[in-house]
Amino acid sequence: MKRRVAILISGRGSNMAALIEAASAGDFPAEIAVVISNRADAAGLERAKASGIAIEIIESKPFGKDRAAFETTLEAKLGQYRIDLICLGGFMRLFTAEFVQRWYGRMLNIHPSLLPSFPGLDPHGQALKAGVKISGATVHFVIPETDAGPIVIQGAVPVRDDDTAEALSQRILTVEHRIYPEALRLLASGRLRLEGEHCRIAGGAASSDPLISPLAK
């Protein structure tokens, strides 16, 4: 039986669209049951509707700083749709530790850097300021700490000397759209195992192809 997934968004939902497209395949082990936004003006809501996915809006503002009250409403929606797994796709609201603990091992997030490097805001600007030659994206399990938690999958891209934050962001976005559906596929198929702070993949094989930047002769 396919696992039922809720995608939580606050904006354009580009990773949401990649997950919806992947889940449309008949052999994908998960189905996108609902897209939930904490902003009524999130552009991703229209994209979800166009794909035939149910949408729900739980505005953040009426709850103010009362995260627990917001989460009570969110939990009711998750229960209504019989949700098994959560994917965060640019969801700009922090959760309480209690909510995260309830969904530990069942909630994924994606961050546009090679964690643990450059967590938080402006990861692309952080990468350029640090002068790294390789950056990328990370899908990880959510824990109470921001942009932390056991890493499921990562993808890397070269950083160019003339990169801007926007140019690097767009290059990394193509990697995000590849690795997030793969992470969900692994989780929904039961191939992920948590061992303390690490995530293990049953039958997983690491790539043998190195990414070297600048290219070494």
Point out the residues that are catalytic.
Answer: 111
Q: What angle do CA 169, 88, 53 make, to 5 degrees?
A: 105
Q: Which residues pair with 151 in a beta bridge?
A: 140
Cβ proximity of 168 and 135 under 8 Å: yes
145-176 burial: b if 16+ Cβ within 10 Å, else e: eebbbbbbbbbbbbbeeebeeeebbebbeebb
CA distance 49 to 142: 27
CA distance 16 to 79: 20
